């Protein structure tokens, strides 16, 4: 990504940029960390009906996605949920 | 017909008032007719930065409440005859003025002056709403710090929601040495994050403190900040010329890099 990535320690300006990108995504979407937590647990609850989920590997977060029109970005929900086993005889 | 420009930031202490004073003085240097309005009712500051604090008789609230004529409240600058200041009231609060009244005032001033520049208070409450009510365009001032950039993003969102389109960004207090070390975000980094057009980058310059001490904006002098502010003024006047901004910006950036 950047030359600075070669070195182990990130420069503080890169840290600032990364932190800002994250905080602005949730600011812009008007989505509090609390709400994210609820969305996360609801998604897990629903999916658990159909599959056994690897709880340690779950990554659910709000990110930004480029739209096709004039380079604007919109918030997007990113979810990476590893499945251990499918529950074929679901309740 | 003049243009109404609001200088805003969200966060306090990033250089709104200094920017307003230098922008106004610089535009007057370019022979434009300019009115500066301090909309920070209760916490006026633009008068001392301009060095006009001893000349105040009437203020913004007096004009709105029709205690005086508009012309009576406008204070002529010490050095530039086409530059005027309408100071904020010190003893009232921000609810003494409504957005509709502010729009009426700026619409009237637009008839006679080339630029009406509003110094917006920090925050997003009534004072902010008053300041942006009549604005044709907005300059958002920020510094390369996470708190200031975050607030700038919020302000940009609010400006767009209030139909003040395409705000332009001024990144203030840049320290090229720290940027080089990787310990400060560059203006480009900030532009990247906020996704708005850059109209200026001001280096952190101790001459600003001296100029504020003296009550004489330094725009156009030999200092780094003075030149950076003058470049912003030229961009403000020349904004209808395509690609001019970009070239000037590149030049300035190269100059910042070389430091």
For residue B189, the chain A residue with the least C-alpha distance is A17
Three-class DSSP category at B4: strand
pLDDT given at position B126: 92
- The whole-angstrom separation of Cα B10 and Cα B140 is 9
Contacts of B146 in chain A (CB under 8 A): 16, 19-20, 23
Other Cβ atoms within 10 Å of A67 Cβ, number: 11
Q: Inform me whether the pLDDT recorded for A76 exceeds 60.
A: yes
Contacts of A27 in chain B (CB under 8 A): 150, 153-154
Q: Which of A13, A27, A73 is the closest to B189 by Cβ?
A: A13
Determine, for residues B154 and A16 on separate chains, whether the beta-carbon distance falls below 8 Å.
no
pLDDT given at position B48: 97
Pair of tokens at residue B224:
């780094």
Three-class DSSP category at A11: coil
For residue B151, the chain A residue with the least C-alpha distance is A24
pLDDT given at position B246: 31
- The whole-angstrom separation of Cα A5 and Cα B36 is 46
- The whole-angstrom separation of Cα B88 and Cα B144 is 29
pLDDT given at position B122: 95
Q: Inform me whether the pLDDT recorded for A2 exceeds 70.
A: no
pLDDT given at position B91: 83
Supply the Cα-derived Rg of chain A in whole angstroms.
17
B80 sits in which H/E element = none
Contacts of A16 in chain B (CB under 8 A): 144-146, 185
Percent of chain A at pLDDT > 70 equals: 80
pLDDT in tens, A11-30: 999 999 999 988 888 788 77
pLDDT given at position B242: 32
pLDDT profile of chain B (259 residues), mean per 10: 95 96 97 97 95 96 95 96 96 87 97 98 94 96 97 94 92 93 94 93 95 96 92 82 34 50
How close B184 gets to chain A, by Cα (Å)?
Answer: 5
Residues in chain A: 91
What is the domain partition of chain A in residue ranges?
A: 32-91
Contacts of A9 (CB under 8 A, 6+ apart): none
**Could you report how far apart the first and last alpha carbons of chain A are, in Å?**
46
pLDDT given at position B248: 37
Q: Which of A11, A14, A23 is the closest to B150 by Cβ?
A: A23
pLDDT given at position B104: 97
CATH says B3-258 is which class? alpha beta
Contacts of B150 in chain A (CB under 8 A): 20, 23-24, 27
- The whole-angstrom separation of Cα B76 and Cα B165 is 31
Query: Is B75 in contact with B55 (CB distance < 8 Å)?
Result: yes
Determine, for residues B182 and A24 on separate chains, whether the beta-carbon distance falls below 8 Å.
no
- The whole-angstrom separation of Cα B16 and Cα B140 is 8
pLDDT given at position B127: 93
Q: Inform me whether the pLDDT recorded for A37 exceeds 90.
A: no
How close B229 gets to chain A, by Cα (Å)?
Answer: 25
pLDDT level of residue A63 (50, 70, 90 thresholds): confident
What is the domain partition of chain B in residue ranges?
A: 3-258
Averaged pLDDT for residues A72-78 = 75
């Amino acid at each position: 990504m950047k030359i600075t990535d070669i070195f182990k320690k990130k420069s503080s300006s890169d840290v600032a940029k990364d932190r800002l990108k994250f905080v602005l995504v949730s600011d812009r979407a008007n989505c509090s960390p609390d709400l994210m937590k609820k969305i996360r647990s609801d998604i897990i609850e629903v999916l658990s009906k159909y599959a056994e989920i690897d709880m340690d590997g779950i990554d659910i977060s709000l990110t930004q996605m480029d739209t096709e029109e004039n380079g604007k970005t919109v918030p997007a929900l990113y979810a990476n949920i590893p499945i251990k086993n499918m529950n074929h005889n679901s309740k | 017909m003049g243009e109404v420009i609001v200088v805003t930031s969200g966060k306090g202490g990033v250089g709104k008032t200094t920017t307003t004073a230098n922008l106004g003085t610089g535009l007057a240097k370019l022979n434009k007719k300019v009115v500066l309005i301090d909309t920070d009712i209760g916490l006026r500051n633009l008068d001392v930065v301009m060095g006009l604090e001893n000349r105040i008789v009437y203020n913004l609230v007096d004009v709105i409440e029709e205690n005086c004529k508009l012309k009576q409240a406008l204070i002529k600058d010490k050095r530039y005859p086409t530059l005027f200041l309408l100071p904020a009231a010190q003893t009232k609060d921000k609810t003494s003025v409504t957005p509709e009244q502010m729009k009426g005032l700026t619409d009237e001033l637009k008839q006679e002056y080339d630029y009406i520049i509003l110094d917006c208070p920090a925050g997003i409450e009534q004072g902010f709403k008053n300041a942006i009510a009549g604005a044709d365009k907005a300059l958002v001032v920020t510094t390369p710090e996470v708190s200031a950039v975050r607030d700038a993003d919020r302000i940009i969102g609010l400006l767009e929601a209030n139909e003040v389109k395409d705000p332009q960004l001024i990144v203030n207090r840049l320290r090229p040495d720290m940027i080089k070390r990787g310990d400060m975000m560059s203006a480009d980094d900030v532009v990247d994050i906020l996704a708005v057009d850059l109209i200026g980058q001001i280096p952190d310059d101790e001459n600003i403190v001296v100029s504020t001490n003296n009550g004489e904006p330094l725009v156009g002098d030999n200092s780094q900040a003075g030149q950076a502010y003058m470049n912003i003024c030229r961009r403000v006047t020349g904004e209808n010329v395509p690609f001019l901004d970009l070239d000037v910006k590149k030049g300035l950036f190269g100059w910042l890099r070389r430091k």
